[in-house]
């Protein structure tokens, strides 16, 4: 199976309120990244030189090794993997640069052309090395184990080989694998680009103001309910006009997935994602079942309180992220946000704080607000020989500070894991959210502990509950929506109305009776990028949040000596260890159904505290 030449960024746009990019909001000078550590620009001669060298090395690699892996000794196979890794990292650097350039301004047609051209060239080059992972998977277990046991150099790559061979039962013939690989640029990747460029170019009318999509979504957390309602109707109208296109994209990609899953003999639509996440279907089922069962005790209970706090008999969908009456909506300058996050990180671990500070000291963060920029937030690991980049849209709100803490966690994780090398530094999505959610928790706890005013503490606690509900309940609702949609698509193409009905079904069951959904909410499924870019990604947020809640509980209880050192080792492991091995030093086991209830009970405990202080 060909490993992706481009590690996808950890997109964090699905759960939390969206940050827009419609212009500077007065928060002070906001940083923009400098991609020169990858390449000076699209015309950089080093870029063309890297592509030419990678092409030559890939062809030579195929000539030297295709059809011969079974005859190689363990040491020689290790050398071959090292060469393959070097080629892949060059291609990963190219695609990281192209992807980040496109994310910086997707409205610029030149950026779109550059991104597509790089995808096509990288795909053509990597087609020469495609044989390698396919042939590795053809090695018999006994023969491969003999090579591993006889070579220390090859044994280093045991985690890479272990994870690669998870896909062995689903591997197709070499010819079919190559066809699928080469057609990706005109298949799923092309539909992804169409979605991104369409979203980037859309305009949303909010009262007398014309905004881009993310700017309009940001208004859904405005303190003025009339502004929120106007923004909601504007978003509905804008996406309603594009409904036919988004319905086509969704139907096409779902059918495409069904066809490929059928050929690969995956038992259900989410199985391929679970394999990539190195997690069993049953573990995901246990998580989903636990969260769904907790809807009444978590989201239903909390939003009933929120409706009372806002003085509303029923909440509308534009009230979900409304600020609370006691919430401090004063602007938080960028420097203050930096100080708060780094102080929390350093308070837990000076090393964590030092690594985090590098992102601010160097131009590795793009938080500036400008048209055409990708919405939401993400962290992109790029390649171990470079460093990660963070994208945010910073509006100076308290939730933006939490987003910064989240993305910085990803970045620190990626820095620490880089020592594992290109093939083994990447973590499964289920574990990729560990450091980010943990960073949020550190920052929140530090701010909460420093607050002495009861009303402000309650508002902070409520804000944290909302973030956790967005991360856990909302993401599992998204996962259920995807599951229902892909199952329904197998019976035939779905209309806009049918997709909307599935969306309303999961929103109603997850958010509860406190809400009265207006019909215009039926189109809101269409702005979620995860459904297009990374199907069935979203449960990883809930996995990460519940995992971190349990992990942080162990830290608070002080039951594990040297917790900080063990935590940093967990991050350094990258993709070399599975969740069982990573959590074992902390006495945790994600395959135990009780594990998920530990995480969910943290949220329930926060809501209990809010109920006790209700009316004070």
Instruction: Tell me the CA end-to-end span of the chain in Å, nearest whole number.
Output: 59
Quick one: tokens of 450?
Answer: 């420093």
**pLDDT band of 433, cuts 50, 70, 90:** confident
Q: What architecture does CATH give domain 33-191?
A: Up-down Bundle (1.20)
The model's pLDDT over 342-375, given as tens digits with 9 standing for 90+, comes to 999 999 999 999 999 999 999 999 999 998 898 8
**pLDDT band of 20, cuts 50, 70, 90:** very low
Q: Name the percent of the chain lying above pLDDT 70.
A: 95
Q: Are 31 and 398 in contact (CB under 8 A)?
A: no
Q: Is the pLDDT of residue 512 over 70?
A: yes
Q: Is the pLDDT of residue 246 over 80?
A: yes
For residue 595, give Cα distances in angstroms to 7, 254, 283, 428. 29, 32, 11, 19
Quick one: tokens of 567?
Answer: 């935590």
Task: Give the per-residue pLDDT at 354.
Answer: 98
The model's pLDDT over 47-89, given as tens digits with 9 standing for 90+, comes to 999 999 999 999 999 999 999 999 999 999 999 999 999 999 9
The model's pLDDT over 138-165, given as tens digits with 9 standing for 90+, comes to 999 999 999 999 999 999 999 999 999 9
Higher-confidence position of 429 and 387: 387
Residue spans of the domains in the chain: they are: 33-191
Three-state DSSP class for residue 30? coil
For residue 259, give Cα distances in angstroms to 121, 184, 262, 274, 570. 26, 14, 5, 18, 37
By CB atoms closer than 10 A (0-12, 13-18, 19+), residue 616 is exposed
Torsion of CA 439, 443, 449, 450, to 10 degrees: 160
**pLDDT band of 428, cuts 50, 70, 90:** confident
**pLDDT band of 9, cuts 50, 70, 90:** low
Three-state DSSP class for residue 204? strand
Q: Determine the Cα–Cα distance for residues 103 and 32; give it in Å rounded to an integer.
A: 12
Helix runs in 472-517, H state only: 473-489, 496-511
Three-state DSSP class for residue 24? coil
Task: Give the per-residue pLDDT at 525.
Answer: 97
By CB atoms closer than 10 A (0-12, 13-18, 19+), residue 453 is exposed
Partners of 11 in the beta sheet? 378
What mean pLDDT comes out for the span 478-494? 97
**pLDDT band of 592, cuts 50, 70, 90:** confident
The model's pLDDT over 175-228, given as tens digits with 9 standing for 90+, comes to 999 999 999 989 999 999 999 999 989 999 999 999 999 889 989 999 999 999
For residue 24, give Cα distances in angstroms to 219, 333, 359. 15, 12, 21
By CB atoms closer than 10 A (0-12, 13-18, 19+), residue 29 is exposed
Q: Determine the Cα–Cα distance for residues 205 and 237; give it in Å rounded to an integer.
A: 9
- Catalogue the long-range contacts made by 24-30 (C-beta closer than 8 Å, 24 or more residues apart): 24/368, 24/369, 25/331, 25/369, 25/395, 25/396, 26/331, 26/396, 27/331, 27/332, 27/333, 27/334, 27/394, 27/395, 27/396, 28/333, 28/334, 28/335, 29/334, 30/334, 30/367, 30/368, 30/369, 30/394
Q: Are 475 and 542 in contact (CB under 8 A)?
A: yes
Task: Give the per-residue pLDDT at 329.
Answer: 67
Which residue reads 């212009």 in tokens? 23
Average pLDDT, the chain: 92
Q: Are 388 and 411 in contact (CB under 8 A)?
A: yes
Q: What is the pTM of this model?
A: 0.81
Three-state DSSP class for residue 390? strand
Nearest residue to 414 via CA among 378, 447, 443, 446: 378
Q: Is the pLDDT of residue 279 over 90?
A: no
Three-state DSSP class for residue 43? coil
Q: Is the pLDDT of residue 616 over 70?
A: no
Partners of 209 in the beta sheet? 206
Helix runs in 68-223, H state only: 74-104, 109-126, 130-138, 141-149, 152-155, 158-164, 174-183, 188-201, 213-218
What mean pLDDT comes out for the span 552-572? 92
Task: Give the per-residue pLDDT at 149.
Answer: 96
Q: Are 408 and 563 in contact (CB under 8 A)?
A: no
Q: Is the pLDDT of residue 16 over 60?
A: no
Q: Determine the Cα–Cα distance for residues 486 and 499; give it in Å rounded to an integer.
A: 10
**pLDDT band of 450, cuts 50, 70, 90:** confident
Q: Determine the Cα–Cα distance for residues 126 and 182; give it in Å rounded to an integer.
A: 9
Q: Is the pLDDT of residue 132 over 80?
A: yes
Nearest residue to 426 via CA among 577, 281, 307: 577
């Amino acid at each position: 199976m060909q490993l992706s030449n481009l590690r996808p960024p950890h997109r964090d746009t699905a759960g939390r309120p969206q940050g827009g990019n419609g212009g500077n909001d007065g928060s002070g000078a906001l940083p923009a990244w400098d991609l020169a550590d990858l390449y000076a620009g699209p015309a950089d001669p080093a870029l063309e030189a890297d592509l030419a060298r990678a092409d030559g090395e890939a062809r030579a690699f195929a000539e030297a090794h295709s059809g011969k892996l079974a005859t190689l000794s363990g040491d020689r196979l290790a050398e071959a993997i090292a060469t393959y890794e070097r080629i892949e990292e060059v291609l990963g650097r190219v695609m990281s640069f192209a992807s980040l350039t496109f994310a910086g301004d997707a409205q610029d047609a030149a950026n779109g052309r550059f991104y597509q051209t790089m995808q096509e060239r990288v795909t053509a080059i990597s087609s020469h090395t495609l044989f390698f992972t396919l042939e590795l998977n053809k090695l018999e277990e006994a023969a491969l184990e003999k090579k591993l046991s006889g070579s220390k150099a090859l044994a280093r790559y045991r985690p890479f080989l272990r994870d690669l061979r998870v896909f062995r039962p689903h591997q197709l013939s070499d010819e079919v694998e190559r066809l699928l690989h080469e057609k990706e640029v005109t298949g799923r990747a092309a539909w992804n680009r169409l979605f991104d460029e369409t979203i980037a170019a859309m305009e949303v009318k909010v009262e007398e103001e014309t905004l881009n999509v993310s700017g309009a979504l940001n208004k859904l957390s405005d303190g003025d309910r009339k502004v929120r309602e106007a923004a909601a109707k504007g978003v509905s109208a804008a996406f309603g006009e594009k409904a036919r296109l988004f319905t086509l994209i969704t139907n096409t990609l779902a059918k495409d997935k069904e066809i490929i899953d059928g050929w690969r003999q995956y038992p259900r639509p989410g199985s391929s994602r679970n394999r990539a996440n190195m997690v069993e279907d049953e573990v995901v089922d246990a998580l989903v079942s636990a969260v769904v069962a907790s809807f009444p005790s978590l989201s239903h209970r909390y939003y009933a309180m929120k409706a009372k706090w806002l003085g509303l008999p029923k909440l509308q969908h534009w009230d979900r992220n409304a600020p609370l009456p006691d919430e401090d909506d004063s602007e938080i300058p960028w420097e203050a946000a930096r100080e708060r996050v780094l102080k929390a990180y350093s308070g837990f671990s000076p090393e964590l704080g030092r690594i985090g500070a590098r992102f601010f000291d160097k131009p590795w963060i793009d938080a500036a607000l400008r048209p055409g920029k990708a919405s939401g937030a993400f962290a992109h690991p790029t390649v171990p020989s470079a460093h990660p980049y963070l994208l945010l849209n910073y509006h100076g709100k308290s939730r933006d500070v939490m987003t910064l803490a989240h993305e910085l966690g990803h970045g620190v994780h990626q820095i620490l894991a880089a020592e594992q090398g290109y093939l083994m530094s990447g973590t499964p999505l289920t574990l990729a959210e560990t450091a980010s959610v943990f960073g949020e928790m550190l920052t929140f706890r530090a701010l909460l502990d420093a607050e002495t005013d009861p009303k402000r503490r309650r508002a902070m606690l409520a804000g944290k509950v909302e973030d956790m509900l967005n991360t856990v309940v909302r993401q599992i609702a998204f996962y259920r929506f995807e599951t229902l949609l892909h199952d329904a698509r197998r019976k035939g193409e779905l209309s806009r109305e049918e997709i909307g009905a599935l969306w309303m079904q999961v929103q109603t069951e997850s958010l509860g009776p406190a809400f009265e959904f207006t019909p215009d909410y039926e189109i809101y499924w269409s702005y979620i990028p995860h459904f297009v870019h990374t199907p069935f990604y979203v449960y990883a947020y809930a996995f990460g949040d519940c995992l971190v809640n349990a992990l942080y509980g162990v830290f608070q209880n002080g039951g594990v000596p040297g917790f900080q050192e063990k935590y940093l080792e967990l991050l350094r492991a990258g993709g070399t260890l599975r969740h069982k091995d990573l959590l074992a030093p902390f006495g945790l086991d994600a395959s135990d159904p009780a594990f998920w209830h530990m995480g969910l009970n943290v949220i329930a405990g926060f809501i209990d505290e809010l109920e006790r202080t209700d009316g004070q």
